[in-house]
Structure 1
Amino acid sequence: MNWNTLQDSAQLQHIKEESAQQTVLIFKHSTTCSISRATLDRLERNWKEEEMKNLKPYYLDLLSFRTISNEIANTFNVQHESPQVLVIKNGAVIYHNSHFGIDYKSLLPFAKN
């Protein structure tokens, strides 16, 4: 799985604009949380590039970039959780989930444009 790292709040505007052309996924990961680690591992294990080619994945280490995590919550009007996945299309969140609600099969429909 080829993650794009989210490390700068300026990227959020780019993601909003980019999502008009391609659906975007943001995975917010807490590096000290076992649930977050298990969820990330499961997602990466199941990820098939060919099936998900229309879904651009971004990874946020929320402990290192907590302010960006807060900006995501404010920008997209979604309560912060960790781990958390957001799917963004045309500048808006069209799906979000957290903890063990995050799974590959739930994300697959968003990769089909």
Structure 2
Amino acid sequence: MMEKISSIEQFNQILQNEKDFFILKHSLTCPISSAAYSACQSFFENEHVKMVYVPIQETRETSNHIAEAFNTRHESPQVFHVKNGEPVWNTSHSRITERALKEANTK
């Protein structure tokens, strides 16, 4: 199961402690986000990578903080590949596929 992040403190802790991970900003009510979540879950299970998610309706402040920290516009769904505390790749909406995640993981 992917790890759920519910606070800015949890996000900052993962950012500080993990060298290489993916983070999904996930809308609990959007069908596109549901498909993105499924793609991320499958990628996580098949590739054994660190994958966390932020349910934006429950943690809007955390989601906004991530957008600010990564200097990006808030989108949902949106996924980031983070290495050494910096986003090295991101995409959103229907472009979040298992294939896109695998390609991002090899860069």
Q: TM-score range by the shorter chain?
A: 0.7 to 0.9
**Which residue pairs with 1:11 in the alignment?**
10
Change (3 A) 1:105 1:75: same
Instruction: Quote the Cα distance in structure 1 between the aligned partners of 2:34 and 2:89.
Output: 21
Please, what is the CA RMSD of the aligned residues? 1.9
1:47 to 43, 60, 79: 43
Give me the TM-score of the superposition, normalised by structure 2: 0.87
| Deviation of the 1:10 alpha carbon | 0.6
Task: List, as ranges, runs of 4+ consecutive aligned residues in structure 1 with deviation greater than 3 Å.
Answer: 109-113
1:36-84, CA deviations, whole angstroms, 9 ceiling, x for partnerless residues?
112222443x4363x522x210011100100000000011112110011
Tell me if 1:80 matches 2:74. yes
1:1-113 aligned within 5 A: 2-20=1-19, 23-44=20-41, 46-47=42-43, 49=45, 51-53=46-48, 55-111=49-105
Flag structure 2 segments of 5+ consecutive residues without an equivalent: none
Flag structure 1 segments of 5+ consecutive residues without an equivalent: none
Alignment: residue pair count = 107
